Amino acid sequence: MSREFLRNNRAWVQRVSDPAAPSASAGATEATRLYALLGTWNEADIVYATIRNAFEQGAQRVFVVDDESDDDTCSEAEAAGAEVIRFRNEGWFDDAAKMARFRDVINEQTRLAGTEIWWLIIDADEFVVGPDGTTIVDFIGRLDPRVDVVGCRVLDHYPSGETDYVPRTDPVAVQPLARWRNHPCCPWGHWKHSLVRVREPDSVHVLPGYHRHQSREGTMIEPEQSLLLHHIQFRNRVDIEQKLDRAYAPGGRLAGRSTYYSSRLRYQSLDLVYRQQWHSIRSVFPGGPRYGIRLEPWQSLVPETERRPQNRDAT
């Protein structure tokens, strides 16, 4: 990793210096507010289960910012209990516009609540759980009050057989093979920082991808413990191929876009993934080989306390 990469990722966050957190035994209380926020575009197969997982982790409300889906994404999200906010786009994916919408929702809802809110900010294919078998809401109820943001250890899951994912069920159950996403955006190796405390409107600037954030107060504080994020980017092959074919076709929402590299790499790797030719898949993690990925049963990669099934069937 370059010195510039390390310097940029050290600048925005620090660790709590005192291991004896003042609220270490407080636990979650009625005053602990956890809201979830996710963006969608044609995620009908997975969005219900993602939202139910957020509720199971203690979110009191879940907001979905939908970017003109033309499938059943919005109805599935509403059926799962989410509050859907529909936006029109200009025919292409605009990351800056998406993040502006996210910030508007965060600021408006924080202002209406009249108190600080912990926001769990995720994509539709991200299933986040608390550390060591706890829920997220119980975890944040015990955090040092100085903490502003919590990073995620991210497991990329891959299909390992002919079993298709059944909507509204646990995707981790049919994708047991995974690898750590070794692409750090902070000094402690976290690629995502999906959980952020917003103490008042406009106090935190959420950056694209939820990898980093900017605080009005300067450096943010991160605890030693982190969340566990299951990244389920490959589901049923036909659905994923059709979605990405549309996105990258001439005039599609991602055609000619250079800001969504991760999705483009996934599109180029689809055939190799579903043929399980792991040695030929390109990997762009800093400091690692360019080609070839090594997969293991995900439960062998985490502590014993985190090896239970991560979310129940949502039906």
pLDDT digits (tens, 9 = 90+) for 64-93: 999 999 999 999 999 999 999 999 877 778
Alpha helix segments (H runs only) across the chain: 3-10, 47-56, 73-79, 95-113, 136-141, 237-248, 261-274
Cα 26 to Cα 28: distance, rounded to the nearest angstrom: 7
| Number of domains observed in the structure of the chain | 1
**Rg, Å, the chain Cα set:** 19
pLDDT of res. 5: 54
Mean pLDDT of 46-55: 98
In a domain, 107, yes or no: yes
pLDDT of res. 212: 94
Mean pLDDT for the chain overall: 88
Percent pLDDT > 90 in the chain is: 70
CA 299 to chain centre: 19
In a domain, 302, yes or no: no
Residue 22 has pLDDT above 80, yes or no: no
Cα 265 to Cα 267: distance, rounded to the nearest angstrom: 5
Cα 225 to Cα 153: distance, rounded to the nearest angstrom: 10
Cα distances (angstroms) measured from residue 37 to each of 79, 149, 272: 16, 15, 32
- The CATH number linked to 187 is 3.90.550
In a domain, 189, yes or no: yes
Q: Is 243:42 a contact under the CB 8 Å cutoff?
A: yes
Mean pLDDT of 294-300: 97
In a domain, 154, yes or no: yes
pLDDT of res. 16: 83
pLDDT of res. 17: 61
In a domain, 218, yes or no: yes
Cα 302 to Cα 232: distance, rounded to the nearest angstrom: 17
In a domain, 258, yes or no: no
Q: For residue 166, which of 221, 212, 235 has the smallest C-alpha distance? A: 235
By residue range, what is the domain housing residue 125? Answer: 3-16+30-235
Cα 63 to Cα 35: distance, rounded to the nearest angstrom: 8
Mean pLDDT of 138-146: 96
Residue 258 has pLDDT above 70, yes or no: no
Q: Which residue has the tokens 């995900």?
A: 298
Q: How confident is the model at residue 95 (pLDDT cuts 50, 70, 90)?
A: confident
Cα 221 to Cα 208: distance, rounded to the nearest angstrom: 19
Mean pLDDT of 232-257: 88
Which 3 state secondary structure label does DSSP give 62?
A: strand
In a domain, 104, yes or no: yes
The lowest-confidence range among 13-22, 112-121, 122-131, 301-310 is 13-22
Locate 306 and state its tokens: 């985190």
**Burial level of 192, CB count in 10 A (0-12/13-18/19+)?**
buried
Cα 10 to Cα 232: distance, rounded to the nearest angstrom: 28
Is the dihedral angle over the CA atoms 37, 219, 229, 92 positive or is it negative? positive
Q: What pLDDT, in 10s, does the model give residues 157-212?
A: 999 887 789 999 999 999 999 999 998 999 899 999 999 999 999 999 999 999 99
pLDDT of res. 179: 97
In a domain, 71, yes or no: yes
